[in-house]
């Protein structure tokens, strides 16, 4: 008898523990696949070499598109800026246009940057 | 003997459930201006750094996009934004945060700007332990009207693992992250800054930011 009570209590406790652990966390699905966007931004802000950041972000994009997910806000714009630093001018505009396509909210700023690009000014 | 302990523990469970999720008894935040403004996009300005750690600004600035974007906002690319300021002769966070909101709206086309400051950032070392603490504050301002939409503050610490409740899990995760980069000890506070930013800028917490239009919870709030 005692055994059964104990087992039941233990099971209830385990259930309660699960409820406590999950109860407060409102876990919802990620909107974006982040990969190394924020670490690359950090590297850039610290003044590290853009070539390595470009390589990492190009790899990220392959992973993201292979899974059919979306890159986070700013990812393409940031990559575009890195291309401009290394002189890959053709690829800069493509990235800015991609940012605009994915996030129409960015249009004002992307057009501002595309305008500078066209005039040959530094971004 | 054991069943008695279990029964006692069972009695405590409802209390834990009741307390666990209860928000602090703070005055509810007035979201009238926020709800009227309906911002979709946010330009985050480089944070003011009131801590002695020179790298604090970069560390915090690099980690603002995740919580804000997952809350449902378009977040302008922070490094590109800081580059635009640089091209206009502005490198100091104080100068940048002093720029006229209308001018910011004109260049960045953002609905709102986030003004941040860092009160604490860094590690204190004692004989038995080292503790990293990061404290951040933020104000969200409508760029069309200059109206304050929301403000908040948050902290995170590397020794939260010793606490009971939800913080223990986060603390354990942070502890693990810190261990991974322990060799570059100057960066020990970087993951702590990430946690502080998430606490400050994730939507849906008591008195926290509201969800943005890209979140499925936007219409339900």
Q: Is residue A64 part of a domain?
A: yes
CB of B194 closer than 8 Å to CB of B121: no
Residues in chain B closer than 8 A to A30 (CB atoms): 70
Q: Which pLDDT score is estimated for A17?
A: 46
Please compute, for residue B182, the number of CA atoms within 13 A of its CA located in the half-sphere on the CB side: 10
| Residue A101 in this model has a pLDDT that exceeds 80 | yes
Residues in chain A closer than 8 A to B190 (CB atoms): 42
Which residues 4-33 in chain A show a CB within 8 A of chain B? 5-6, 9-10, 12-13, 16, 19-21, 23-26, 28, 30-32
Residues in chain A closer than 8 A to B5 (CB atoms): none
Looking at residues A15-24, what average pLDDT do you find? 45
B83 phi, psi to nearest 5 deg: -65, -40
Q: Is residue A23 part of a domain?
A: no
Q: Do B17 and A19 touch (CB under 8 A)?
A: yes
A83 shares contact with chain B (CB less than 8 Å): no
Q: Do B20 and A72 touch (CB under 8 A)?
A: no
B103 shares contact with chain A (CB less than 8 Å): no
The pTM of this model reads: 0.80
CB burial string B77-114: b at 16+ within 10 A, e below: bbbbbbbbbeeeebeebeebbeeebeebbebbbbbbbb
Q: Is residue A49 part of a domain?
A: yes
Q: Which pLDDT score is estimated for B112?
A: 98
Which tokens in the block code for residue A56? Answer: 């990492």
The CA distance from B161 to B77, in Å, is 33
| Residue A3 in this model has a pLDDT that exceeds 70 | no
Which residues 181-210 in chain B show a CB within 8 A of chain A? 190, 204
Strand partners, B135: B120, B155
DSSP A50: H
Q: Which pLDDT score is estimated for B134?
A: 97
The CA distance from B60 to B47, in Å, is 8
Q: Among all residues of chain A, which has the CA nearest to that of B212?
A: A31
Q: Which pLDDT score is estimated for A89?
A: 86
Q: Is residue A112 part of a domain?
A: yes
Of the pLDDT bands very low, low, confident and very high (cuts 50, 70, 90), residue B130 is: confident
ipTM of the complex: 0.80
Residues in chain A closer than 8 A to B215 (CB atoms): 31
| Residue B87 in this model has a pLDDT that exceeds 80 | yes
Domain count, chain A: 1
Domain range holding A51?
37-119
The CA distance from A111 to A32, in Å, is 24
Which CATH number fits the domain that encloses residue A56? 1.25.40.10
CA B10 to chain A, closest CA, distance in angstroms equals 6
Q: Do A42 and B190 touch (CB under 8 A)?
A: yes
The percent of residues in chain B predicted with pLDDT above 70, rounded, is 74
Sign of the alpha-carbon dihedral angle for A77, A80, A82, A84 = negative
The CA distance from A35 to A55, in Å, is 13
Of the pLDDT bands very low, low, confident and very high (cuts 50, 70, 90), residue B55 is: very high
Q: Do B10 and A9 touch (CB under 8 A)?
A: yes
Of the pLDDT bands very low, low, confident and very high (cuts 50, 70, 90), residue B166 is: very low
A113 shares contact with chain B (CB less than 8 Å): yes
Q: Is residue A13 part of a domain?
A: no
| Partner-chain residue, chosen from B74, B166, B190, that has the shortest CB–CB distance to A73 | B74
Q: What is the pLDDT of residues B107-127, one digit of tens each?
A: 999 999 999 999 999 987 666
CB of B162 closer than 8 Å to CB of B171: yes
Residue of higher predicted confidence among B136 and B16: B136
| Partner-chain residue, chosen from B16, B79, B190, that has the shortest CB–CB distance to A41 | B79
- Residue from B77, B109, B112, B214 whose CB has the most chain A CBs within 10 Å, to mutate: B77
Nearest to residue A103, comparing CAs of B199, B68, B30? Answer: B68
Q: What is the CA radius of gyration of chain B?
A: 20
Residue of higher predicted confidence among A1 and B33: B33
């Amino acid at each position: 008898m005692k055994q059964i009570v104990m087992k039941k209590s233990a099971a209830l406790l385990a259930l309660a523990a699960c409820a406590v652990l999950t109860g407060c966390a409102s876990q919802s699905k990620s909107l974006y696949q982040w990969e190394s966007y924020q670490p690359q931004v950090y590297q850039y802000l610290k003044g590290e070499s853009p070539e390595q950041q470009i390589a990492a972000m190009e790899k990220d994009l392959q992973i993201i598109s292979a899974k059919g997910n979306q890159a986070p806000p700013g990812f393409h714009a940031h990559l575009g800026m890195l291309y401009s630093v290394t002189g890959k001018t053709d690829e800069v505009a493509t990235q800015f246009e991609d940012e605009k396509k994915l996030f129409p909210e960015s249009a004002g700023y992307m057009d501002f940057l595309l305008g500078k690009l066209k005039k040959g000014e530094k971004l | 003997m054991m069943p008695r302990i279990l029964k006692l523990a069972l009695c405590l469970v409802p209390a834990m459930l009741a307390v666990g999720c209860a928000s602090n008894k703070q005055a509810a935040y007035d979201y009238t201006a926020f709800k009227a403004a309906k911002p979709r996009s946010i330009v985050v300005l480089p944070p003011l750094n009131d801590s002695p750690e020179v790298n604090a600004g970069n560390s915090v600035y690099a980690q603002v996009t995740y919580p804000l974007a997952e809350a449902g906002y378009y977040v302008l690319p922070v490094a590109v934004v800081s580059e635009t300021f640089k091209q206009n002769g502005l490198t100091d966070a104080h100068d940048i945060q002093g720029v006229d909101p209308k001018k910011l709206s004109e260049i960045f086309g953002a609905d709102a700007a986030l003004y941040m400051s860092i009160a604490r950032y860094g590690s204190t070392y004692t004989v038995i332990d080292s503790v990293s603490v990061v404290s951040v504050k933020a104000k969200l301002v409508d760029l069309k009207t200059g109206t304050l939409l929301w403000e908040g503050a948050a902290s995170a610490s590397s020794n939260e693992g010793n606490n009971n409740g939800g913080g223990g899990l986060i603390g354990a995760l942070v502890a693990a992250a810190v261990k991974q980069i322990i060799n570059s000890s100057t960066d020990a506070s970087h993951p702590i800054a990430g946690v502080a930013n998430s606490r400050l800028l994730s939507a849906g917490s008591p008195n926290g930011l509201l969800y943005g239009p890209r979140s499925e919870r936007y219409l339900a709030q």
